[in-house]
Amino acid sequence: MSASDTQSPLRLFWREFSENKFAVGSLVVVVLLAVVAFLAPLLVPQDPYNLELLSLLDARRPPGFVGSGGYVHVLGTDPQGRDLLSAIFYGLRISIIIGLAAGAIALVLGTIVGIFAAYAGGWIETVLMRVIDLQLSFPAILLALVLVALLGQGKGQLIAALVAAQYAYFARTAYGAAKAERRKDYVEAALATPLAGYKVAVRHLLPNCMPPLIVVATVQIANAISLEATLSFLGLGLPVTEPSLGMLISNGFPYMMSGRYWISVFPGIALIILIVAINVVGDQIRDQFNPRLRK
């Protein structure tokens, strides 16, 4: 069968991907959660941030309670009388936005640093990679913790801290791939031509960095979401009035011991589903990119 001649690499990739039903299921979940997050305002019965719509009289009601708004609180309500389903959808939105933003910025920044180091060579390469290695050996959580404490609360600050904690992974990956490519003859040849250096980097080095970077990106987005939740839990994340999933879990946890499990458990489940699904997709992509496991 010579179908491979007519299929784009992307379609081939998808064919292999679709063989793993679990990964496909996870991808569907990720897409679904993303859609839910971005369409949250259209889907939820209540805007959880509009205080006018909340009533303390509805606070901490179990799943299935019909509140003063006249609709069923499918997952119950939180200590402010917020519909938990709505809060989770909005929380998902915040978590995903932060994860994506931090992941994307770290990706761009890390790739630039990595490729630049590989392209520049010499002492620049040595210094840059020493710094990157040093940072990699330093735990992300600690760095993020210190930065968030110093920068203060807020989405921007949080994303900045996450980027600072994560870009090194991208830089290392891009550097590794670019370095391998840089040694190849055709790149050397291209560098000898009058073609501008950055064009060589973009045209030849960048494409070869993409597959491993995609793998790192999926993992790091999941990590960013998880890290954000952890920071929120430690009280260093976002303000309580615009809760991310981590903040919802943290806010609800004190109620666990008194049996009002839903306030913390449902956001927790949402968070875990999201991260597990992203990781399963990432795993599959990684396996597909790993030449050593392919025969």
Partner 1 sequence: MLGFVIQRLIQASLVMAAMSVIVFVGVYAIGNPIEIIIPPEATQEIREATIRSLGLDLPLWKQYFIFVGNLTEGDFGRSFIYNLPVLELILGRLPATLELVLISVISATVGGVVLGIYAGYRPDSIIAKTIMAVSVLGFSVPSFWVGLILILTFAVNLGWLPAGGRGETVSLFGVQWSFLTFDGLSHIVLPALNLAFFKLAMMIRLARAGTRETMLTDTIKFARAAGISEGRILRRHLLKLISIPIITVFGLELGSTLAFAVVTETIFSWPGVGKLIIDSIAVLDRPVMVAYLILTALLFVLINLTVDLVFAFIDPRIRAKGA
Partner 2 sequence: MKAKQLLASLAVALGVAVSAAGVSAQTLTMGVRGGPESLDPHYSALGSHAEAAKHIFDTLVWSGDDLQIEPGLATSWKPLNETTWEFKLREGVKFHDGSTFDAEDVKFSIERIPAVSGPTTTTIYVRRVESVEIIDPYTIHIHTNGPAATLPYDFVRLFIVSAEAAKDYSTKETASAGFNGGPAAVGTGPYKLVSWEPKGDLVLERFDDYWRGKGAWEKVIRKEIPNDSARLAALKAGQVDIINYVSSVDYLALQRDSSVDAVVGDSVYIMNLQLDQRPDTPKVYAMDGSKLAENPLQNPKVREAIDLAIDRETMVDIVLEGLGKPANQMMPAGFFGSSEKIPARVHDSAKAKALLAEAGYPDGFQMDLYCTSDRLPGDGAICQGLGQMFSQIGIKTNVNAISKTVYFPAQSRLEYSVFMNGWGTLTGEASYTLGALAHSNDPDVKMGAFNRVAYKNEKVDELMEKGAMTLDADARRALYEEAMELTMADRVYIPVVQLQTVWATKAGKLSFPPRFDEDTLAFFIKPKG
Task: Report what 241 binds from partner 2, partner 1, none; CB cut-off 5-8 Å by kind.
Answer: partner 2
Give the binding range for partner 2 (CB under 8 A) out of 7-15, 197-205, 248-256, 266-274.
Answer: 248-256
Map the footprint of partner 2 across residues 31-50, applying CB under 8 A.
Answer: 50
Compute the distance between CA of residue 276 and CA of residue 227 in angstroms, rounded to an integer: 14
DSSP state of 83: B
Give the helix, strand, coil percentages of the chain, each rounded to 5.
75, 0, 25
- Is residue 237 a contact point for partner 1 (CB under 8 A)? no
Site for partner 1, residues 36 to 95, rule: CB under 8 A: none
Q: How far is the CB of 263 from partner 2 (least distance, A)?
A: 10
What's the distance, Cα to Cα, between the start and end of the chain in Å?
Answer: 18
Binding residue for partner 1 (CB under 8 A) from 3, 57, 192, 293? 293
Contacts of residue 269, defined as CB under 8 A and 6 or more positions apart, other chains included, come to none
3-state SS assignment for residue 197: helix
Q: Considering the complex, what minimum distance in angstroms separates the CB of residue 39 from partner 1? A: 24
Residue with tokens 């010579």: 2
247 contributes a contact to partner 1 by CB under 8 A: no
Measured distance CA(4)–CA(50) in Å, rounded? 54
Instruction: Decide: is 28 part of the binding site for partner 1 (CB under 8 A).
Output: no
Which residues contact partner 2 by CB under 8 A? 50-52, 54-57, 59-60, 79-81, 152-153, 235-236, 239-241, 253-259
